[in-house]
Amino acid sequence: MRKPYALLLTFLTLLPLPLGLLGPLAPPARAADNGSWSVNPLSTTVAERPYFYVSADPGQTIEDTVVVTNKTDTPLTFRLYAADAYNTERDGGFAVRTAGERMRGVGAWAKPAKDRVTVPGRGTATVPFTIGVPEDAEPGDHPGAIVALDERVEKGGAGVALGVRRAVGARVYLQVGGPTLPALTVEDVRVEQSRPLVPGFGDSEATISYTLRNTGNVTLNPKVELRARGLFGRTLLSRDLARIPSELLPGQRVHLSEPWHGAPQLDWGKVTLTASARETRESASAGFFAVPWLAALVLGAAVGAGLVLLLKKRRARHPQRARGVDIMRLRRGARPVPTHPQTKSHTASGV
C-alpha cells in the first residue's frame, strides 16, 4: 500500500511572503526558492526574469529555458514537469495541479527536454523546454508553472503518519492571441449574525460570505468594496476589503468571508459587495434583519397573548353567534333539538 503524502510547493511569486498569503501590494519579484533549491527562468543579457511571461498565437511553438539551482551540499534529483495553475477555493492562493492530474493548458502544452535531472551540490542545471500552443487553443491567459519535484517522501512530525513531498515551481504566464474578455461576478452573498441574548450586554458580530468568480479569459487583480445600509438608507459599514486574492485566474472562483465587528443588534437593511477589475464591475446584495433574541421572544409572546385576548373579546361581544349556527342547520333541513322536551302520556281505557 502506498504511503499517503502531502505536496509542499513553493512558487515564483510577486510577493515575498508564503504562498497564498493575501495582500494588496507587491514588492519586486524574486525567484521561487524553498531554501534547498530554486527554480527560475534563464536570465537574459538585459535583466533577470522573475517569471516566464509568454505571448503566442494558436499553432505557435515557444522555446525557453529553466534553471534549477541546488543550494545544499549534496546532489539532488528532481522530476521536472509542467502544470496548470488555479486559485485555491479557501483563500484564492496561487496553486498548481499535481503531476497525476489532468492538464488543459500550460501543463499539457509545455514539455521540458528532460523529465528528470540531477543537480550537484551547490550547482545548477539548465533545462530547455517548449510550449506548443494548439491550433484550437482558446484566446486569453493560461497560467501555469514549470515544477521541480523532489520525489523523496519525507517523514511527517511526531505522531503524524503523513509523508511530505516538496516542490518548487516557476510561474508561467502564457497569453494566447485573440479576443480578450475581462469579466467578474459576485455570487452567493450571505450574512450570518451572532447577537447577545440581552441587548446591550455583549458585542454583536456578523460574517459576510461571498463567492468571487472570474468568468472571463484574462487574469484579474480584483478589488472589492463592502457597503451596508440600514433603515432609511443609513450607512452602517463602508470599506474596501483587503482579504482578497491578488490574482484571480480565468475561470476560477474563490469563497471568501469578511467579519463585521459591531454589527447592529436591531436593524433591517442590505449588504452590497461590489467587485471591480480592469474594464469590469459587478455587484451583488443580500438583506439582513437584526433583532435581539430576547426581544424576539418577548415580541412573539406579546403577539401570541394579544391574539388570545382578541379572540376572547370577540366571543364576549357576540354571544348569539351560537344560535346562528342552529339557524343554518335548519336551512339545511336538520331538525332542531327542542329546548324543553315533553314526555308522552298514555291513557288506559277499561271495557
Question: What pLDDT is attached to residue 315?
Answer: 75
pLDDT at 182 > cutoff 80: yes
Residue indicated by cell numbers 467578474: 184
d(CA 226, CA 197): 27
pLDDT at 205 > cutoff 50: yes
- How confident is the model over 180-208, as a mean pLDDT? 87
Question: What pLDDT is attached to residue 204?
Answer: 87
pTM: 0.76
Instruction: Name the DSSP letter for residue 339.
Output: S
* Beta pairing, strands 5-11 & 163-176: parallel
Question: What pLDDT is attached to residue 12?
Answer: 43
Question: What pLDDT is attached to residue 348?
Answer: 43
pLDDT at 38 > cutoff 60: yes
pLDDT at 24 > cutoff 50: no
Least confident of 7-21, 72-86, 106-120, 270-284: 7-21
- How confident is the model over 129-152, as a mean pLDDT? 97
Question: What pLDDT is attached to residue 299?
Answer: 58
Q: Binning pLDDT at 50, 70 and 90, where does residue 298 land?
A: low
Q: Binning pLDDT at 50, 70 and 90, where does residue 48 land?
A: confident
User: Quick check: helix, strand or coil at residue 294?
Assistant: helix
189-22-53-112 Cα dihedral, nearest 10 degrees: -100
Taking Cα atoms as reference points, which of 283, 247, 177, 208 lies closest to residue 15? 247
Dihedral (CA of 159, 165, 171, 175) sign: negative
Taking Cα atoms as reference points, which of 349, 146, 185, 176 lies closest to residue 282? 185
Q: Binning pLDDT at 50, 70 and 90, where does residue 316 land?
A: confident
Taking Cα atoms as reference points, which of 154, 112, 111 lies closest to residue 133? 111
Least confident of 131-135, 145-149, 340-344: 340-344
Cβ neighbors of 148 (< 8 A, separation 6 or more) are 37, 39, 68, 78, 79, 80, 117, 167, 168, 169
pLDDT at 129 > cutoff 90: yes
Cβ neighbors of 125 (< 8 A, separation 6 or more) are 67, 68, 70, 117, 118, 119
pLDDT at 27 > cutoff 60: no
- How confident is the model over 199-208, as a mean pLDDT? 81
Question: What is the overall mean pLDDT for the chain?
Answer: 83
Q: Binning pLDDT at 50, 70 and 90, where does residue 347 land?
A: very low
Cβ neighbors of 61 (< 8 A, separation 6 or more) are 130, 131, 132, 133
**146-163: per-residue pLDDT in tens?**
999 999 998 766 666 678
Residue indicated by cell numbers 503523513: 162
Cβ neighbors of 140 (< 8 A, separation 6 or more) are 175, 176, 178, 180, 181, 216, 217, 218, 250
Question: What pLDDT is attached to residue 9?
Answer: 66
How far does Cα 346 stand from its chain's mean position? 94
How far does Cα 327 stand from its chain's mean position? 67
Name the percent of the chain lying above pLDDT 90: 62
pLDDT at 17 > cutoff 50: no
242-251, 259-268, 295-304: which has the highest mean pLDDT? 242-251
pLDDT at 65 > cutoff 70: yes
Q: Binning pLDDT at 50, 70 and 90, where does residue 296 land?
A: low
pLDDT at 345 > cutoff 50: no
